[in-house]
Structure 1
Amino acid sequence: MSIQKVDEILSKAQVFYLATADGDKPKVRPLGFHLLFEDKIYFGVGTFKAVYKQLEENPNVEIAAWDGEHFLRYYGVADLTKNDAVVEKAFELMPEIAEAYKSNGWEIGVFFLNDATAEIRNMFTVEESYEFKY
């Protein structure tokens, strides 16, 4: 199976959770935006936010979601390489966010997970597992 399965679960879940490290403390926050672009799933956060600084300091992250049927654990290394095409597409999909960012002079940082594993699970076991290396 491909990255499309992960994208489908995130879409169905609508809200999913990004876990980062803040020094030696875990931090988890809800996200809703993801974008399948060129066979990678991109996420976005404001570069002015603490979460972006956490990603820069320790790019090892995990995303967890529940789509009503399955749990998704998607973990790997956040690749923060700037990608203007992804930012433009994100702003097309979310014009209200684009307006807020542009009017405040903010920048959105997009990232995808490299050296990643996606586990699709039920309550007791892993049903499917995929590796993604870019």
Structure 2
Amino acid sequence: MKKVYDYIKKCGTYYIATYDSEYPRVRPFNTIDIFEGKLYMQTAKCKPVYHQMLKHPKIEICACKGMNWLRIQATAVFDERIEAEKHLLNACPYLMPDYMPGDGNNVVFYLKNVTATFSNFETEPEIVKF
């Protein structure tokens, strides 16, 4: 999991794909944290992505750096605990002007049943599961 975290952190921006019952949806994200041995991300309850993940929690993530990329298949699990929100916001302080722990809009989620595939055009893919 640390290798996945480090790669995403290095990329800065990554993309999450969800499903809205009619079309796939892809949008950029840039939050990442490790809390209690799980990989966490953040969004807002007012955003469509939150409602899409509630209804269809299986997501895919893609992050690229140069000629290398990472694809992740996982299930998003929302964590309503204030401790999880605080930890992520401390790890991503640039979110603080817009989000506060317990504000009713901030929401964090972790990934479970993760299959992460590191790829490039020169070597065999490396698969990490957690």
Q: Report the residue type matching 1:51 in the other structure.
A: V
Q: Deviations over 1:106-127 (max 9, x none)?
A: 5211111111101111137652
- Specify which of 15, 18, 21 is matched with residue 17 of structure 1: 15
* TM alignment of 1:40-79, pairs within 5 A: 40-79=38-77
More helix by share: 1
* TM alignment of 1:1-134, pairs within 5 A: 3-102=1-100, 105-123=103-121, 126-132=124-130
Identity rate, percent: 30
Q: Report the residue type matching 1:91 in the other structure.
A: L
Q: Deviations over 1:54-78 (max 9, x none)?
A: 0001001011001225210111111
TM-score by length of 1: 0.85
Deviation (angstroms), 1:92? 2.4
Q: Report the residue type matching 2:61 in the other structure.
A: I
Structure 2 residue ranges without an equivalent (≥5)? none
- Asked whether the 8 Å contact 2:33–2:91 carries over to 1, the reply is no
CA distance in 2, matches of 1:110, 1:123: 34
User: 1:8 aligns to what SS in structure 2?
Assistant: helix
